[in-house]
């Protein structure tokens, strides 16, 4: 099923707010092999302060070290980026741990070539294996512990992407619907409540003294609502089908965000891939950070959908991940 955004051999721009809010920390996300002395020098000259090296099963410790050395030699701090929830290998090995699409059937209109589930079948979002189940949680934790053995010395922290449930989690079809686990749908594994804060805490114990930065995806927006629920004359995306759950989903988002922040003081990332999450609508403003919530530390958080030519983040949050024009693939 072609519904998920992936992080291919791409370079993103991460923007993090340092203690001095006027000068955000900007991090380049890159494949380790791309971190050459020439590139590192160019990024430094561009004003970046750090590089995040993508770390997965393909990563070679020697290549990571070369990359980290090149970054350090050019005055760039080093972070590691690990994609968690989207995992092809685990999805193949354990389809029972994959995220389900929930009770609403609206996703089928968006993906008409997929055979609808028959009686006794459940629909899953390939290849999404969230940490939301006790079984997958444990395996993801082990995976990260194993991957971190390849980490170069001296890195500052780890960014963990996709710690929420799978996309279209209620079945609406919206890729940003990440709040639900087996929404009125039979579970094929054991649900682990509040998995993300537990996961961040466990990874933190693996690497004392390093930052662990969860990267969060925001929920649906008011223009995703069905026409009857939107202001008259307003434009809509149709991304939520006929599901009018905007307020309900927002509340669940806020609860999960609060749970994530409860015992943490470190930064949190916000994934704002405006194209991959289908926010690049011609009707929307060119640059439009819409802030809708306050978190437990009274920071405004929420939607950061940037349409048009965005290459950097604008939202007052710790870390904002924004795609560059050409270098994120969607499949």
Distance in Å, CB of 311 to Zn ion, minimum: 29
Q: Which two tokens stand for residue 248?
A: 């309900």
Angle between helices 134-148 and 195-206 in degrees, nearest 10: 30
Considering only 170, 200, 317, 321, the residue that binds Zn ion (CB under 5 A) is: 170
Question: What x/- string results for residues 221 through 250 when contact with Zn ion is judged by CB under 5 A?
Answer: ------------------------------
Angstrom CA distances, 101 to 110, 124, 158, 172, stand at 13, 6, 29, 8
State which residue, 129 or 177, has the beta carbon closest to Zn ion.
177
Phi first, then psi, for residue 2 (nearest 5°) are -95, 75
Distance in Å, CB of 238 to Zn ion, minimum: 13
Q: Rg for the chain (alpha carbons), in Å?
A: 19
Q: Please, is 270 exposed, middle or buried when counting C-beta atoms within 10 Å of its C-beta (0-12, 13-18, 19+)?
A: buried
Task: Look at the alpha carbons of 234, 237, 238, 244 in this order and tell me if their dihedral is positive or negative.
Answer: negative
Considering only 25, 159, 172, 273, the residue that binds Zn ion (CB under 5 A) is: 172
The pairing of strands 290-294 and 300-303 is: antiparallel
The residue with tokens 């223009």 is: 223
Distance in Å, CB of 98 to Zn ion, minimum: 17
Question: What x/- string results for residues 127 through 166 when contact with Zn ion is judged by CB under 5 A?
Answer: ----------------------------------------
State which residue, 110 or 264, has the beta carbon closest to Zn ion.
110
State which residue, 101 or 160, has the beta carbon closest to Zn ion.
101
Distance in Å, CB of 50 to Zn ion, minimum: 34
Max distance between CA atoms of the chain, in angstroms, equals 60
Q: Is 177 in the site for Zn ion (CB under 5 A)?
A: yes
**Interacting positions 284-303 with Zn ion (CB under 5 A):** none
Q: Is 181 in the site for Zn ion (CB under 5 A)?
A: no
Q: Segment contacting Zn ion (CB under 5 A): 93-101, 177-185, 207-215, 230-238?
A: 177-185
Binding-site residue total for Zn ion (CB under 5 A)?
3
Distance in Å, CB of 255 to Zn ion, minimum: 15
State which residue, 144 or 172, has the beta carbon closest to Zn ion.
172
Q: 14 in the Ramachandran plot: left (φ > 0), alpha (ψ -120 to 50) or beta?
A: beta
Distance in Å, CB of 271 to Zn ion, minimum: 17
Distance in Å, CB of 174 to Zn ion, minimum: 5
Q: Is 175 in the site for Zn ion (CB under 5 A)?
A: no
Distance in Å, CB of 183 to Zn ion, minimum: 8
State which residue, 10 or 237, has the beta carbon closest to Zn ion.
237
State which residue, 90 or 170, has the beta carbon closest to Zn ion.
170
3-state secondary structure of 258: helix
Q: Which two tokens stand for residue 231?
A: 């202001």
- The answer to whether 39 and 71 are in contact (CB under 8 A) is no
Angstrom CA distances, 45 to 10, 25, 201, stand at 20, 14, 35
Residues that bind Zn ion (CB under 5 A): 170, 172, 177
């Amino acid at each position: 099923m072609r519904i998920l955004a992936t992080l291919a051999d791409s370079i993103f721009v991460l923007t993090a707010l340092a203690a001095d809010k006027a000068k955000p920390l900007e991090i380049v996300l890159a494949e380790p092999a791309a971190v050459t002395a020439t590139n590192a020098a160019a990024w430094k000259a561009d004003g970046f302060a750090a590089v995040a090296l993508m770390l997965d099963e393909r990563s070679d410790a020697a290549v990571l070290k070369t990359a980290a050395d090149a970054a350090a030699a050019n005055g760039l701090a080093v972070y590691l980026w690990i994609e968690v929830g989207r995992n092809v290998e685990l999805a193949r090995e354990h389809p029972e741990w994959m995220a389900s699409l929930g009770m609403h059937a609206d996703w089928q209109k968006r993906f008409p070539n997929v055979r609808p589930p028959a009686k006794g079948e459940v629909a899953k979002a390939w290849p999404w294996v969230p940490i939301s189940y006790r079984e997958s949680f444990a395996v993801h934790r082990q995976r990260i512990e194993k991957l971190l053995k390849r980490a170069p010395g001296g890195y500052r922290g780890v960014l963990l992407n996709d710690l929420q449930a799978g996309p279209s989690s209620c079945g609406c079809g919206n890729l940003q619907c990440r709040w639900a686990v087996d929404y009125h749908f039979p579970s094929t594994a054991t649900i682990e409540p509040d998995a993300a804060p537990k996961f961040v805490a466990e990874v933190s114990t693996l690497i004392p003294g390093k930052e662990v930065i969860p990267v969060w995806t925001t929920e649906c927006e008011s223009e995703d609502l069905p026409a009857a629920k939107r202001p008259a004359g307003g434009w809509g995306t149709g991304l939520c089908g006929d599901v009018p759950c905007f307020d309900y989903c927002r509340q669940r988002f806020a609860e999960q965000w609060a749970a994530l922040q409860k015992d943490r003081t470190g930064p949190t990332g916000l994934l704002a891939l405006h194209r991959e999450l289908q926010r690049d609508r011609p009707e929307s403003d060119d640059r439009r950070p819409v802030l809708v919530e306050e978190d437990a530390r009274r920071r405004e958080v929420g939607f950061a959908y940037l349409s048009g030519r965005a290459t950097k983040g604008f939202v007052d949050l710790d870390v904002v991940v924004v795609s560059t024009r050409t270098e994120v693939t969607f499949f």
